[in-house]
Amino acid sequence: MMDSDSRYELRINNRTVKTPIALASMAGITDASYAMSIKDYIGIAFIGGYSIDEPSMNASIKMEEEGRQEFKYDDPAEELKKQVSKFTGTDVIPGINLRGTKPEAFLSIYSALGNSVIYEIDAHCRQEPMINAGAGEYLLKNTDTLSDIIRALKEAGATVSVKIRAGVNDDDAELSRIIWKAGADIIHVDLMDFGHEKIRQIRNSCPLMIIANNSMDTYDKVKDMFSHGADMISLARNSDPKTLESLFVSIEDYADESGWYNSPKQLCRGGDIRSLTFCCMPVKQCALIPALKRIGMSPKEFNDLKLSLVKDTPLASGDSTCFGSLAWCCKSSTPCMFRDMSLKRVGLSHSEYMRLKHHLSKEIMKKVFDEKNEA
């Protein structure tokens, strides 16, 4: 049995994320006590949202007058200190979902709490008082302000998540690139009704950790998100112990069996950019050629990159495969006697093979996005 570190290979704030399930914020509901009631089944808990400056706090007052639940405190920093302290000694990584209008408000919270938590910028709240105050969804259409907040937190040393609502900005792919270039670590996306196509679009636009949110209440839905680019999923209203336990067990079982819990579909079957790890040598007209063109990589560069990355690893072998190396072989769920003969020859199980393909995918992604970052 693997431990969480080797099973998921997810780390935040120098800590292992024990499961790719997060608790999403629900204003007036999700606090540390709520998170502790389900702590056995979550890896990250985003508590909040908490309004942290005068405009957003005034908006919270108005929203509560209109019948919504809100967290309201005279001193948000002091209250957040108390909340975060309740995570001490647990294996749940705390995140705080913050609604504010200026970088200074976020920095004041950081100065009180330091870098032991994930700072989640709430660009998600769609309530009119919050948008009019210059917080929540306002930030999705005013990305200079959002970028300023991200940069300020990153320069201070924070781990930054941005909670967005899909479809509010005119171009979620460009929004994702803006969030990435500003320095964020995580995009937490409420998919609304967009489905896995939106996750794939965001995955193909940036290398950040992606958390998929909204109706992640069955393993079939979760696996669909994982296979199109999500690193984690989150639940809010469906975060009951029965649902969470079912997801926790199903994800863990698949991870142990397959070797790569969120492995992508193959490119020719609608996979995201990570699926380049499964692609054949670029010698025929197929989905690979236009995909390489989109990322600005020639077939020869892709050929040379893959071979260089598998050098001195078990994936370099594979004389009996179609192209003489396991570097070019497909996903383990696709039947292939030639791949399996080579795996047997070098003593690799399917799960070990998939873990190596996962590592290869990470290196390909690093090359693709490092070059885009320089552009």
Tens-place pLDDT, residues 318-332: 999 999 999 999 999
CB 241 within 8 A of CB 205: no
Percentage of the residues of the chain whose pLDDT score is greater than 90:
95
Phi first, then psi, for residue 369 (nearest 5°) are -85, -25
How far apart, in Å, are the Cα atoms of 154 and each of 111, 226, 235, 367?
13, 27, 26, 23
What's the pLDDT tens digit per position in 121-143? Answer: 999 999 999 999 999 999 999 99
Instruction: Find the Cα–Cα–Cα–Cα dihedral 58, 61, 63, 64, rounded to 10°.
Output: 170
Class of domain 4-258: alpha beta
Cβ density class 281-299: b for 16+ within 10 Å, e for less: bbeeeeebeebbeebebee
133 sits in the region (left: phi over 0; alpha: psi -120 to 50; else beta) called alpha
Closest CA to 370 of 307, 304, 305, 278: 305
Q: Residue 39's pLDDT band (boundaries 50, 70, 90)?
A: very high
Query: Cα angle at 230 between 52 and 292, to 5 degrees?
Result: 120
Per-residue pLDDT for 5 more than 90? Answer: no
Residues 6+ apart with CB under 8 A from 338: 320, 321, 322
CA–CA separation, 334 and 265 (whole Å): 10
| Amino acid found at 348 | L
What's the pLDDT tens digit per position in 360-372? Answer: 999 999 999 986 6
Residues 6+ apart with CB under 8 A from 312: none
pLDDT of residue 372: 60
- Please compute the mean of the pLDDT values over residues 187-208 and round it to a whole number: 96
Per-residue pLDDT for 374 more than 60? Answer: no
- Please compute the mean of the pLDDT values over residues 56-81 and round it to a whole number: 95
Per-residue pLDDT for 66 more than 60? Answer: yes
**Mean pLDDT taken over the chain:** 96
| Long-range contacts of 281-285, Cβ-Cβ distance < 8 Å, separation of 24 or more | 281/323, 281/328
| Diameter of the chain measured on Cα atoms | 71
- Please compute the mean of the pLDDT values over residues 223-234 and round it to a whole number: 98
Spell out the domain ranges in the chain: 4-258, 267-374
Per-residue pLDDT for 200 more than 90? Answer: yes
Per-residue pLDDT for 203 more than 60? Answer: yes
pLDDT of residue 284: 84
Q: Residue 3's pLDDT band (boundaries 50, 70, 90)?
A: confident
What's the pLDDT tens digit per position in 303-322? Answer: 999 999 999 999 999 999 99
Per-residue pLDDT for 258 more than 80? Answer: yes
| Amino acid found at 246 | S
CA–CA separation, 366 and 362 (whole Å): 6
What's the pLDDT tens digit per position in 11-24? Answer: 999 999 999 999 99
Q: Residue 373's pLDDT band (boundaries 50, 70, 90)?
A: low
Per-residue pLDDT for 375 more than 80? Answer: no
Per-residue pLDDT for 205 more than 70? Answer: yes
pLDDT of residue 201: 98
Percentage of the residues of the chain whose pLDDT score is greater than 70:
98
| Amino acid found at 207 | P
What's the pLDDT tens digit per position in 102-126? Answer: 999 999 999 999 999 999 999 999 9
Predicted TM-score (pTM) of the model is 0.96
pLDDT of residue 277: 98
